[in-house]
Amino acid sequence: MNELALMGGSPQIPYELPSVKNTSGRDVGEEELRLVTEVVKSGNMGFLYGAKIKQFQQEWAEKFKVDTAVAVSSGTASLHTAMIFLNIGPGDEVLVPAITDMGTIIAVLSENATPVFVDVDLHTQNMDPKDIEHRITERTKAIIPVHLYGFPCDMDPIMDIARKHKLFVVEDCCQAHLTEYKGRLVGTIGDVGCFSFQQSKHMTTGDGGMVITNRDEICGRKLQHCADKGWPREKYRDHLFLAPNYHMTELQAAVGIAQFRKLDDFIERRRKSATYLSDLLKGLNGVVPPLEVEWARNTYYEYALTIEPKQFKVSNQVLARALTAEGVQTAPGYLPYPIYMYEVIKNKVQSFDVDLCPVANQACQSMLFIPWNEKLTDQHVEDIAAAIRKVLMYYSK
């Protein structure tokens, strides 16, 4: 067997794979430039007077078949806007998964509400519906299912529990653009859907986000006002409640429109290359590729490969380092440990315990997280598969 690059051998992939850090892995070009140029030439780049943000919101709302889409400055801003919209405040509890981006938690804490952590499914790492109900108290106001890595949460049981306990559902779709659950786009199943357009997402505006709902004024608040200082612009300097300024700019919206028009194609390309990799990994001991099932359309934000730690002589951390040395930039899972274990969150968790969510703990040691993008060709995928085989077979027990 060839010597591992980690031990001084030659890397399986001696060139740079396409990356979301630049145009090698991002399809950004002429159309984005044309629309951004229009904005610059117009002399108006801000939220107040431009047409691009309105157009971006309108095209998004049409695609998702929702009444309202509000473009904002980030995914975190979209989630915080949703909290304000639903009037979540001090004393309220919000159920969140133990594995997610910090932005999900920051949104809850920003309104002085308390995040309550729910365990996850070992394979998908999405919120486990079976672990929700016993975490509900009389203070619980909302659930935030996070559709991780492009794969949808099991929304039917989550919606049943939410209806039974009269809870709002905010879908965190920051990693799940055009992901479907039983034929429905995620973001349209709960009360509010939140998206991120940060550089690594399925489409990007550099940074940015979108919030959607079919229930504007559900809490007597308009979604738009929740990202605009509580300001009903048709009135002279009135402010109905406290809210931040989370405007997207016209420049970002120009890029967003161009990117959004290509999103279906991006998703097809991501799906084609990811399912090809899963085919190539068939028969490899100790790994379970991302789920492909008839009730879900996985859009592969990243390629999340579950491993069975007992089958290997070393941890997922060492496996990730070895794969990176072979030329596949791999992380040992999405998070090193559940998000409630971060120092900045620990003291905000009621009755903190390392094993608050034991499956999440296990899941963090059972994943190899391989970055994905729309520019991966069959050749790239074949090289990635060869690198994975080389490393995993070397360390196989």
Ligand X SMILES: Cc1ncc(COP(=O)(O)O)c(C=O)c1O
Closest to 54 in 3D by CA, of 43, 34, 39, 32: 39
Closest distance of CB 15 from ligand X, Å: 28
Least separation, in Å, of the C-beta of 347 and ligand X? 22
Q: According to CB under 6 A, which one of 103, 115, 187, 371 is a site residue for ligand X? A: 103
- Which token pair is 382? 């074949």
Cβ distance to ligand X smaller for residue 66 or 96: 96
Binding test (CB under 6 A) with ligand X, winner from 196, 249, 259, 366: 196
How far apart are alpha carbons 173 and 250 in whole angstroms? 23
SS3 at position 114 = strand
Instruction: Convert residues 154-173 into a mask of x (bound to ligand X by CB under 6 A) and - (unbound).
Output: ------------------x-
Binding mask 128-157 for ligand X (x = CB under 6 A): ------------------x-----------
Strand, helix or coil for residue 267: helix
Q: How many CA atoms, within 13 angstroms, populate the side-chain half-sphere of residue 291?
A: 20
Q: How far is the CB of 310 from ligand X (least distance, A)?
A: 29
Instruction: State the minimum distance, in angstroms, from the CB of residue 275 to ligand X.
Output: 22
Part of the chain binding ligand X (CB under 6 A), chosen from 95-103, 245-253, 263-271, 353-361: 95-103
8 A C-beta contact, residue 114 and residue 348 = yes
Q: Which is nearer to ligand X, 100 or 299 (CB)?
A: 100
Q: Give, as ranges, the residues between 228 and 267 that touch ligand X (CB under 6 A).
A: none
Site for ligand X (CB under 6 A): which residue of 25, 150, 152, 209?
209
Q: Which residues contact residue 222 at a Cβ distance below 8 angstroms, ignoring those fewer than 6 apart?
A: 216, 232
Residue from the set 36, 127, 174, 388 that interacts with ligand X by CB under 6 A: 174
Identified binder of ligand X from the candidate list 101, 121, 128, 131, rule CB under 6 A: 101
C-alpha 105/C-alpha 94 separation (Å) is: 9
Phi-psi region of 283 (alpha: psi -120 to 50; beta: other; left: phi over 0): left
Q: Report, in Å, the least distance between residue 90 CB and ligand X.
A: 22
3-class DSSP state for residue 346? helix
Angle at 130 between CA 291 and CA 348, to 5 degrees: 100
Contact indicator for 357, 253 with CB cutoff of 8 Å: no
Q: In whole angstroms, what is the distance from residue 168 CA to residue 145 CA?
A: 11
- Footprint of ligand X on 332-361 (CB under 6 A): none
Give the nearer residue to ligand X in terms of CB position, either 12 or 196: 196
Interface pattern 52-81 for ligand X (x via CB under 6 A): ----------------------xxx-----
Residue pair 255/36 in contact (Cβ under 8 Å)? The answer is yes
Residue 86's nearest CA partner among 222, 232, 209, 210 is 222
- Contacts with ligand X: how many residues (CB under 6 A)? 15
Q: Which is nearer to ligand X, 124 or 196 (CB)?
A: 196
Q: Which tokens hold the place of 378?
A: 């069959």
Among 12, 104, 249, 278, binds ligand X (CB under 6 A): 104
CB of 381 to ligand X, least distance (A): 23
CB of 176 to ligand X, least distance (A): 8
Residue 126 lies near ligand X (rule: CB under 6 A): no
Q: Which is nearer to ligand X, 18 or 75 (CB)?
A: 75
Distance CA 81, CA 266 (A): 27
DSSP 190: S
CB of 71 to ligand X, least distance (A): 12
Least distance (Å) from ligand X to the CB of residue 302?
Answer: 10
Is residue 198 at the binding interface for ligand X, with CB under 6 A as the rule? yes
| Choice between 32 and 207, CB closer to ligand X | 207
How many CB atoms are closer than 10 A to CB 161? 17
- Tokens 């001696």, residue? 14
In DSSP notation, 279-309 reads: HHTTT-TTEEPPP--TTEE---SEEEEEE-G
- Give contact residues for ligand X (rule: CB under 6 A): 74-76, 100-101, 103-104, 146, 172, 174-175, 196, 198, 207, 209
